[in-house]
Amino acid sequence: MADTTLNSLVISNSGRVSFSGLGSGIDFQATVDGLIAAKRIPVDRLEAQIETNQTKITAYQELRSQLTVLQDSLKNLYGAVTVDSSRNIFEAKQAFAGASRTDGQSASNPANLLGVTVNNKAAVGKHTIEVVQTAASHRIGSGAFTSATQDLGTARGQAANSISGSIQIGGVAIDVLATDTLQSLVDRVNNANKGTGATGVSASVVKVSETESYMALTVDKAGQSLGTDIALGDPDGVLEQLGVLNGGAIDNEFQAARKAQFYADGIVDPVTKQPLLIERDSNTISDLFGGVTLSLYQAEPGTTISIDVDRNLTEAKSAITGFVDAYNSVRSFLNLHLDTDASTGEPREDATLFGSTTLADIETRLSRIVGSGAQGTSSAFSVLAQIGVGFVNNNALADPLAANTLTIDNEKLDESLIGDIDNVKKMFSFDFASSTPQVSMLGFNGNTTYKADGYKLSVDWDEVTGTIASATIDGEAATIDGRRISMESGGAKGLSLYFNGGSDMADVDLDFSVGIGASMFFELDNLLNAQTGLVETEISALTTGNEQKQTRVEEMTVRLDLQRETLLAKYLAMETALTSMNQTIENLKQMTESMFSDN
């Protein structure tokens, strides 16, 4: 009999245990494994393709992330239209303040007198302000309480639990319980100052000593008064008992309400020709100068604070630097996957997308935009190199992946921003101009095409209805929505305008330039489109292909498992027959030997 080894043990899917080759001496387990391994070659090939495709998917996802970062770097550069210009980094402003006096006294540090914040809507220029008086909230108090934790009656020197009823603040009824303490009443008043029906009055406990405390009621909005602007109601005489009112009048006023008062920009009263005293209810003033918010901290009559509003060139430069960094990251990625290794002439080991026509197309599109420059701008501000953003010297690079990336000449870029930021803005942004202020731009997109001689807008106004009847740009009919004019065809497709006129207008000149940032932003918009973008199309195709291949792998694996079981069953049957035959032969042999030995 053949020797039995652990390697000859066979367990079928049905759980039946047998030994390979016991009858025949053939290791049919190894034979079946070899046959199935040969049949599995197509499966192995498919699994290798799935793994390769997954590596490509990962690489395309990385590219998608880098392109998204590049587009994000342009969000404040390409000229997006917003009401407050917040999406236009070239309109970013900063403010500087100084203080002076004319009477020989020393002016306080302006930062101690007021704070200044500006947004992109602020106009470049200079303002002056003299703070005469800051606004103050009206604040009144109760009578004295001996404790903040005893019931109100006891703490006021009256009978225990003797103060209860209802009070009204700003029309909101507040219950006062006989068991209330000064602290619990304060909490209830503050609870009434929440939500849509808030009273506008906050309460607090003012502790003078261990035996003397007061309830303070403070109006939230400076300039308003309790009892006049905010009504006090005392139907049960509780406020009288608390010492807030006396004979219906406020008995204990901590601080009178007052408005902020100041002079600004030398404005004079048209009648008296004297400086005009300006008032506000709050110390936070955002409606005095457009885009400028003032926070009044302290009054100092006689001190003039000068506020200089200027362009924030640092933010503009930071945005341009961010764009260059993001572009270089994409460029390096493309170099890795598209170029061969100069030392070997072969694709780099990790260039999983080598030979991709999609990558080649993306490279061509981005390089064309950066290389061709802006359309319709000054000839001195049409290409990036003119403001200090140029291509690296490929012949002097230590890292071949940095080929065709951008570099910044900081001194030249600073000079450009300081000297002519408006033209730097046009180099990056979509810039619009109309021959009449009655037409302004609401929006544009990548289909809005530059035209050297501009476009002509005509508006037909319906005087009866007071609406736009129709409008055309270069003869192309526009879509009308109220006073909004939108183009859905022609060279001005994607342009959206607002008409503020009230009569027919013909041949309004519309001129615009298309900057590098605008062109690239919308090109990236196309590349990253979730349905039709090149990158998403590649990822989707590879993902779908992998899903189909995986389905085939699973189907083929099931068939191979069935074939394996069938082959094992056949060999087991053969082994069983051979074992039985061998046993019969052995029995016959023993019988024969026994017969001859008896003789």
- CA distances from residue 303 to 99, 116, 438 in whole angstroms, order as listed: 6, 16, 42
Instruction: Give me the torsion for CA of 512, 518, 519, 523, rounded to 10°.
Output: -140
- Per-residue pLDDT tens over the stretch 75-104: 999 999 988 888 899 999 999 999 999 999
* Nearby residues of 404 by Cβ (< 8 Å), 6 or more positions away: 331, 335, 367, 391, 392, 394
- CA distances from residue 224 to 97, 258, 382, 530, 578 in whole angstroms, order as listed: 30, 8, 57, 54, 110
Question: How is the chain split into domains, by residue range?
Answer: 6-39+560-598, 93-135+259-311, 139-255, 430-511
Local structure of residue 23 (DSSP, 8 states): T
SS3 content of the chain, % helix, strand, coil (to 5): 40, 25, 35
Share of the chain above pLDDT 70, in %: 94
* Nearby residues of 12 by Cβ (< 8 Å), 6 or more positions away: 18, 565, 568, 569, 572
pLDDT score at 300? 97
Lowest mean per-residue pLDDT among 181-185, 221-225, 292-296, 512-516: 221-225
Share of the chain above pLDDT 90, in %: 77
- Per-residue pLDDT tens over the stretch 283-321: 999 999 999 999 999 999 999 999 999 999 999 999 999
- Per-residue pLDDT tens over the stretch 584-595: 887 888 888 877
Residue found by looking up tokens 């087991």 in the block:
572
pTM beyond 0.85: no
Q: Are 134 and 142 in contact (CB under 8 A)?
A: no
Nearest to 545 by CA among 39, 37, 38, 60: 60
Q: What is the largest CA-CA distance in the chain?
A: 158
Lowest mean per-residue pLDDT among 8-17, 161-170, 575-584: 8-17
What average pLDDT score do residues 240-252 get?
Answer: 95
pLDDT score at 2? 37
Q: Name the strand (E) or helix (H) holding 29.
A: helix 28-39
Q: Are 115 and 294 in contact (CB under 8 A)?
A: yes
Coil, strand or helix at 84: coil
pLDDT score at 325? 98
Residue 30 has pLDDT above 80, yes or no: no
Residue 32 has pLDDT above 80, yes or no: no
Local structure of residue 200 (DSSP, 8 states): S
Lowest mean per-residue pLDDT among 164-178, 219-233, 308-322: 219-233
pLDDT score at 28? 65
Quote the CA–CA distance of 145 and 231 in Å, as a whole number. Answer: 24
Residue 15 has pLDDT above 90, yes or no: no
What average pLDDT score do residues 274-284 get?
Answer: 94
pLDDT score at 286? 95
Q: Name the strand (E) or helix (H) holding 440.
A: strand 439-443
Quote the CA–CA distance of 189 and 197 in Å, as a whole number. Answer: 13
Q: Where are the alpha helices (DSSP H) in 429-533?
A: 516-527
